[in-house]
Amino acid sequence: MKIKYLHTMVRIKNIEQSLKFYVDLLGLKETRRVENEVGKFTLIFLAPPEQTDCPVELTYNWDTNKNYAEGRNFGHLAYEVQDIYEICEKLQRSGVKINRPPRDGRMAFVRSPDNISIELLQAGQAKKPIEPWLSMKNEGHW
């Protein structure tokens, strides 16, 4: 099965301070930005100038004053997969808990043996929602 690394996500408290560090000091370049008014968050993707296919995603939640504890500021690893249902079924058969099932045919979350959150995203368009995923509830957190 084909799998492609997408990004690593970290939560940030201050966009300006974070950009000063990642862009001005480390030399990363902003490759894309998403402002989501419904979800009240901003996603900023940064990458080295010659390696734009391996970004870090900075996530800024607009309405939170949380001081993310060490470990919780790290969000997840993300991988694009050829078939979201096939990989989730394989993981589940192997005893991996599907924390956020792919009800939408697009996204799922699982945890590694070391409790690292892993996001799985369907390549291309979302697949048609099907059972058992469609009615499966979230379990735990991711």
91: enclosing H helix or E strand: helix 84-93
Cα-Cα-Cα-Cα dihedral sign, residues 105, 109, 110, 112: positive
**Is 119 annotated as catalytic?**
yes
**Residue of 50, 119, 131, 139 with catalytic role:** 119
Q: What separation in angstroms does the CA of 130 have from each of 21, 102, 108, 136?
A: 43, 9, 14, 10
Q: Which residues are catalytic?
A: 119
